[in-house]
Amino acid sequence: MKKKILLGLVIFLVAIQFVPISKTNPPVVQEQTLSSAVEPSVTPQVLTLLKGACYDCHSNETVYPNYTRAQPLGWWIKGHITAGREKLNFSEWASYSGKEKIKQAQECIEVMEQGRMPMKSYVWMHPTGKLSDQDEKILMDFFAQLGG
């Protein structure tokens, strides 16, 4: 009986590999992005930090790592990306109202202060996502300028 259950589990795990995630990013309209829409302009340092720690889940510029080919891991990661984009999308910053931009900036500061972002599971697999205390201060100061 245990062998049948194990065999069934193996067959299931192999079968789900044929149900990949879509890795197609929505188009990026440059004029809508944070880096184009923000005054004062985003410094190269801030943009580098955002791209390293935030953009894979909070923009339309996701770079999907090879391990997203393995299911159910790929589905789990795609779920994080979808939820992240719905919560905050730096590629669509200009589409937010003035109040929404302030709210988003405040939330960015709050989640960083609480240590919730970037997610530990993300940082574990993406060393560029690890922010030093100084990096966090730079980003929080930037978001404070946006009204946070």
Q: Answer yes or no: is pLDDT of 87 > 70.
A: yes
**Tokens in use for 97?**
């109202």
Q: Rounded CA gap, 112 and 64, in Å?
A: 23
With beta carbons less than 8 A apart as the criterion, state whether 91 and 47 touch: no
Q: Where are the alpha helices (DSSP H) in the chain?
A: 2-15, 34-37, 44-53, 55-58, 73-87, 98-113, 120-125, 133-145
pLDDT at 132: 96
- Per-residue pLDDT, 148: 65
pLDDT surpassing 80 at residue 114:
yes
Nearest Cα neighbor of 54 from 145, 137, 116 is 116
Q: What would the pLDDT profile of 5-63 be if each residue is shown by its tens digit?
A: 999 999 999 999 999 999 999 999 999 999 999 866 799 999 999 999 999 999 999 99
Report percent pLDDT > 70 for the chain.
98
Q: What pLDDT, on a 0 to 100 scale, did the predictor assign at position 40?
A: 66
**pLDDT for 107 beyond 90:** yes
Determine contact, residues 60/28, Cβ cutoff 8 Å.
Answer: yes
Mean pLDDT of the chain: 94
User: What are the residues whose beta carbons fall under 8 Å from the beta carbon of 33, sequence distance 6 or more?
Assistant: 59, 90, 91, 92, 93, 94
